């Protein structure tokens, strides 16, 4: 199977300049196109043994007035599932991903080098063991080798107890990593200019603040502890409750490097910042979800999340901006209600309500949204739908970032028609 796409999007960009007014803002159009192709092969050796292989290729092109990018991705996965014994099932697999990109940089922001070939090798194993009739243990690990940090291991363990058909209690411990991205290692970005003869820069020449990638940056790591409970009092109703406690290490921050003077006109001071790993801490929270079918053709799903972050800078780091952004970029509370109703065999009506708490950094007010969808299937493989988005609220922000040149875009009320034909 495959997909092709082409489109464009408007955006507002702001770049720093070394002459008054020290910023320039303009609107531009970004053109993007691409496609992908996927092939899958499956072979069953027996009722308890199956081998599956998948090959995937994707090409993406994006062209802007100031930057451009072309990226090719090739991915191969092999997975084998088999029963080791009557009480033990094992899944193991191998994977390889190759990414080749070419970047058209601008004087303000880009990646150096402007071309990279990246390789990711991976393997995993997943072992589900039936210890007793109602007690299950799952052990697993994922092994990866990437071009930035080398070898990474991500183990996990999960224990589940089902005393009867209505109750399940489970707990899990796992380790995960976020490996460096191209930007983490190779970015250069003229972040801002501090005008001369100001309290922040009393010098008679402007000061350029730059953010630079670090080829020696480490992976961010996470140790996650989870405990959950599932309750099924009725075939049409279920409740899931889970708590989590996450320990983070080597989180990305920036380091202030030695300033230097550039005589190239106009003369200016450069204040370089470099990505490093100098933050750690923990987060914790609660997740509650329900799934209810009041009628055979009507399904209601709710979800509530509470989240709290407590992070700290390592000794010697003064990057309070990254600390504030990491702690303040997730809402404290979120709630959603999703309703799906089959009006007939060919007509569907869906509603999705979301209430999202405020963000502290970057500052974003709390908001509530309602989306609606009416879908009609005149034929088995054809669907026509009309969708309304953000029906409750006026245009509003949902996120922002301190390290991008693109201005945050408000989400507006909108209506569109969609036609799907599957063959």
**pLDDT tens digits for range 266-290:** 999 999 999 999 999 999 999 999 9
Domain tally, the chain: 1
Q: Which domain holds residue 422?
A: 343-423
Q: What is the pLDDT of residues 327-373, one digit of tens each?
A: 888 999 999 999 999 999 999 999 999 999 999 877 888 999 999 99
Q: Is residue 395 part of a domain?
A: yes
What's the CA gap between 363 and 398, in Å, rounded? 10
173-202 average pLDDT score:
95
Q: Is residue 21 part of a domain?
A: no
If phi > 0 it is left, if psi is from -120 to 50 it is alpha, else beta; for residue 34 that is left
For tokens 């809402």, name the residue. Answer: 331
* Tokens read off for 44: 């069953």
Q: Give the pLDDT band (50/70/90) at residue 404.
A: low
Coil vs helix vs strand at 149: coil
Q: Give the pLDDT band (50/70/90) at residue 396.
A: confident
Extract the runs of DSSP E, i.e. beta strands, from 165-236.
167-178, 187-194, 207-212, 220-234
Residue 130: exposure state from Cβ atoms within 10 A (0-12, 13-18, ≥19): middle
What's the CA gap between 329 and 389, in Å, rounded? 23
What residues contact residue 39 under an 8 Å CB cut-off, 6+ apart?
54, 55, 56
Q: Is residue 393 part of a domain?
A: yes
Q: What is the pLDDT of residues 64-119, one digit of tens each?
A: 888 899 999 999 999 999 999 999 999 999 999 999 999 999 988 999 999 999 99
- What letter would DSSP give residue 390? S
Q: Is residue 406 part of a domain?
A: yes
DSSP 65-122: SS-EEEEEEEEEEEEEEEEEETTEEEEEEEEEEEEEEEEE--SSEEESSSEEEEEEEE
Q: Give the pLDDT band (50/70/90) at residue 375.
A: very high
What's the CA gap between 75 and 280, in Å, rounded? 33
Q: Is residue 390 part of a domain?
A: yes
- What letter would DSSP give residue 323? H
407 pLDDT higher than 70: no
- More confidently predicted of 394 and 319: 319
Q: Give the pLDDT band (50/70/90) at residue 408.
A: low
Quick one: pLDDT at residue 401?
Answer: 61
* Tokens read off for 144: 């990866």
């Amino acid at each position: 199977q495959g997909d092709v796409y082409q489109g464009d999007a408007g955006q507002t960009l702001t770049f720093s300049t070394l002459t008054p007014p020290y910023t320039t803002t303009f609107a531009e159009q970004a053109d993007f196109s691409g496609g992908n192709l996927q092939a899958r092969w499956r072979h069953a050796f027996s009722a308890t043994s199956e081998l599956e292989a998948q090959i995937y290729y994707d090409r993406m092109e994006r062209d802007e007035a100031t930057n451009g990018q072309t990226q090719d991705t090739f991915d191969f996965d092999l997975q084998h599932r088999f029963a080791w014994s009557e009480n033990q099932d094992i899944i193991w697999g191998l994977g390889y991903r190759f990414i080749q990109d070419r970047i058209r940089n601008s004087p303000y922001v880009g990646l150096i080098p402007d071309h990279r070939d990246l390789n990711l090798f991976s393997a995993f194993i997943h072992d589900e063991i039936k210890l007793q009739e109602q007690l299950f243990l799952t052990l697993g690990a994922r092994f990866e080798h990437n071009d930035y940090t080398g070898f990474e291991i991500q183990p996990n363990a999960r224990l589940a107890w089902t005393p009867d058909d209505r109750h399940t209690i489970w707990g899990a411990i796992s380790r995960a990593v976020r490996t460096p991205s191209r930007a983490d290692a190779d970015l250069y970005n003229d972040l801002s200019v501090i005008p001369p003869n100001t309290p922040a820069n009393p010098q008679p020449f402007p000061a350029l603040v730059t953010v630079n990638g670090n080829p020696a940056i480490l992976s961010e790591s996470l140790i996650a502890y989870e405990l959950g409970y599932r309750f099924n009092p009725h075939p049409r109703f279920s409740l899931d409750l889970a708590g989590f406690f996450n320990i983070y290490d080597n989180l990305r921050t920036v380091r202030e490097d030695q300033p230097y003077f550039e005589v190239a006109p106009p003369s200016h001071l450069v204040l370089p910042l470099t990505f490093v790993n100098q933050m750690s801490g923990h987060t914790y929270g609660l997740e509650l979800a329900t799934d209810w079918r009041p009628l055979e053709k009507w399904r209601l799903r709710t979800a509530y999340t509470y989240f709290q972050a407590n992070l700290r800078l390592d000794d010697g780091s003064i990057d309070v901006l990254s600390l504030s952004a990491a702690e303040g970029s997730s809402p404290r509370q979120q709630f959603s209600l999703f309703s799906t109703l089959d009006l007939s065999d060919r007509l569907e009506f869906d509603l999705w309500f979301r209430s999202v708490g405020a963000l502290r950094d970057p500052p974003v007010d709390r908001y509530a949204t309602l989306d609606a969808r009416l879908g009609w299937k005149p034929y088995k493989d054809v669907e026509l739908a009309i969708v309304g988005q953000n029906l409750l609220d006026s245009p509003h922000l949902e996120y922002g970032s301190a390290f991008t040149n693109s201005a945050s875009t408000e989400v507006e009320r909108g209506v569109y028609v969609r036609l799907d034909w599957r063959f």
